């Protein structure tokens, strides 16, 4: 099967973890025999505007990372900042990629278009499908269907129109699938991440991993990995650790990641005198993330909103107990699993109590380690999920052919 994938979520040499789950998913699908070409819409804006804060991250010139089994093509498109432009971003991306897609289709004869995220990818896919005369499907990562689509009435109406025009939909989590079914009447394929369970696996002894990363051997390490933004609940997480430390003095929060709130977060840590209990290590290369997880004792996430976070699946595959907020696809994916404790978002008290519970109870922590790994093996394994996606796309192709 020949697939034209459209995804603005794709790692580049500046942000190597941006869209890493999409790249891994497509690469695994390629290893299963699909011929995959990926068009990556990359935001372009005039150079002078990048001197302003709201524009400075918009730069399409960073080369895309390479992944086995897929060909990637970067296409710059104009995308103004702000949620209001989500109504038009798909149209802009479509016009930017149209000629290239038509050129590729002449020689490759794509069977299906597969987009990731409704804005702009799914929108662009629907428009492009009419020109290529191929079916189109879109994977919803969660934020698009549950957050962005509800930004205002205009964007919601456009989301509904796009969802109904697609030949198939996929969803990262049951709550996302329910949101899509509510407007289309059709059940999406509910599928989670695509992980290499050998790369992300538990280790019998954490000491070697800690020595390599220069982490203390005598601390209980709680790990956060992700974008440093208010939406990720990083300030609540730091406050919770400040309280946890009074009951569990050996706790150390390790923060992997970068983002717009990094400076404010460092300031908060200094003001609270938490330098000895919080270590910020910056952005971590995707191929090294498993080492940080294998060196840790538990994984923590305090997000206000989510889809189905890839880092949670990675952490569970490494046998880490997870303490997270009950948002997005997390309740459906892991709440019935003994490897996790979910708490309400924006609730520092409950977050603190859950972290303390895991740290203080060694027997519970061991039980959670085993349950977390088991859930990863059951739901997040790469080969299984890649095959599910390919079977679903093949069904769409056959249905269109009649």
Pairing of strands 322-325, 251-256: unpaired
What is the rounded CA–CA span in Å between residue 313 and residue 323?
Answer: 12
Q: What is the pLDDT of residues 234-278, one digit of tens each?
A: 999 999 999 999 999 999 999 999 999 999 999 999 999 999 999
Can you give the pLDDT at residue 390?
Answer: 97
Separation CA 244–CA 340 (nearest Å) = 18
DSSP 2-24: EEEEE-S---BSS-TTTTHHHHH
**Residue 51 pLDDT:** 59
pLDDT for residue 76:
93
Measuring CA to CA, which residue among 278, 207, 201, 185 is closest to residue 239? 278
Cis peptide before 120 (omega within 30 of 0): yes
pLDDT tens-digit map of 56-98: 555 556 899 999 999 999 999 988 777 778 899 999 999 999 9
> 220-225 and 251-256: which strand pairing?
parallel
* Mean pLDDT, range 154-164, rounded to an integer: 96
Position 370 scores a pLDDT of 97
Burial call 140-158: b when 16+ CB within 10 Å, e when fewer: bbbbbbbbbbebeeebeeb
Per-residue pLDDT at 36: 98
pLDDT value of position 53: 58
- Percent of the chain whose predicted confidence (pLDDT) is above 70: 96
SS3 31: helix
State the average pLDDT over residues 145-166.
94
Average of per-residue pLDDT across 43-62: 64
Secondary structure of 379-395 as H, E, C letters: HCEHHHHHHHHHHHHHH
Q: pLDDT grade, residue 305 (50/70/90)?
A: confident
pLDDT value at position 176? 87
CB 110 within 8 A of CB 143: no
Q: How confident is the model at residue 307 (pLDDT cuts 50, 70, 90)?
A: confident
Q: What are the φ/ψ torsions at residue 314 (nearest 5 degrees)? A: -65, -45
Label residue 50 by pLDDT band (50, 70, 90). low
In tens, the pLDDT along 332-353 reads 899 889 999 999 999 999 999 9
Task: State CA 275 to chain mean position distance.
Answer: 29
The secondary structure element, H or E, covering residue 306 is none
pLDDT value of position 58: 57
Place of tokens 């997005």: 328
Which structural domains are found in the chain, ordered by start?
A: 2-195+381-401 (3.40.50.2000), 207-379 (3.40.50.2000)
> Which tokens hold the place of 122?
């799914």
Query: Which tens digits make up the pLDDT trace of 34-43?
Result: 999 999 999 8
Residue 386 has pLDDT above 60, yes or no: yes
What letter would DSSP give residue 66?
P
Token couple for 399: 């249905």
Higher per-residue confidence, 51 vs 31: 31
Euclidean distance between CA atoms 372 and 318, whole angstroms: 8
306 pLDDT tier (thresholds 50, 70, 90):
confident
Q: What is the pTM of this model?
A: 0.88
């Amino acid at each position: 099967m020949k697939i034209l994938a459209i995804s603005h979520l794709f790692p580049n040499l500046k942000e190597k973890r941006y869209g890493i789950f999409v790249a891994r998913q497509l690469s695994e699908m390629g290893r299963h025999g699909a011929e995959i070409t990926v068009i990556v819409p990359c935001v372009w804006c005039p150079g002078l505007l990048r001197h302003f804060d709201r524009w400075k991250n918009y730069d399409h010139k960073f080369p895309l990372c390479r992944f086995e089994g897929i060909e990637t093509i970067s296409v710059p498109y104009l995308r103004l900042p702000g949620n209001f432009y989500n109504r038009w971003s798909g149209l802009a991306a479509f016009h930017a990629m149209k000629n290239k897609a038509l050129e590729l289709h002449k020689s490759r004869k794509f069977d299906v278009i597969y987009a990731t995220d409704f804005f702009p990818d799914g929108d662009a896919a629907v428009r492009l499908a009419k020109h290529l005369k191929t079916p189109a499907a879109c994977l919803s990562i969660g934020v698009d269907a549950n957050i962005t689509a509800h930004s205002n009435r205009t964007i919601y109406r456009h989301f509904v129109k796009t969802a109904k025009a697609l030949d198939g939909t996929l969803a990262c989590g049951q709550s996302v699938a329910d949101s899509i079914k509510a407007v289309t009447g059709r059940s999406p394929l509910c599928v989670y991440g695509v992980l290499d369970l050998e790369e992300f696996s538990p280790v019998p002894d954490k000491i070697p991993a800690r020595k390599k990363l220069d982490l203390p051997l005598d601390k209980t390490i709680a790990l956060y990995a992700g974008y440093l933004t208010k939406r990720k609940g990083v300030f609540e997480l730091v406050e919770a650790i400040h309280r946890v430390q009074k009951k569990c003095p050996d706790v150390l929060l390790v923060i992997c990641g970068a983002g717009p709130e990094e400076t404010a977060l460092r300031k908060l840590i200094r003001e609270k005198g938490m330098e000895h209990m919080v270590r910020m290590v910056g952005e971590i290369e995707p191929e090294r993330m498993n080492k940080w997880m294998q060196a840790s004792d538990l994984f923590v996430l305090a997000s206000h909103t989510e889809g189905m976070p890839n880092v949670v699946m990675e952490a569970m595959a490494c046998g880490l107990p997870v303490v997270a907020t009950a948002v997005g696809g997390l309740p459906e994916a892991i709440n019935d699993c003994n490897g996790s404790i979910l708490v309400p978002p924006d609730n520092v008290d409950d977050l603190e109590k859950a972290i303390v519970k895991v740290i203080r109870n060694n027997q519970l922590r061991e039980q959670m380690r085993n349950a977390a790994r088991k859930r990863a093996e059951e739901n997040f394994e790469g080969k299984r999920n890649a095959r599910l996606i390919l079977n679903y796309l093949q069904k769409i192709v056959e249905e269109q052919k009649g």
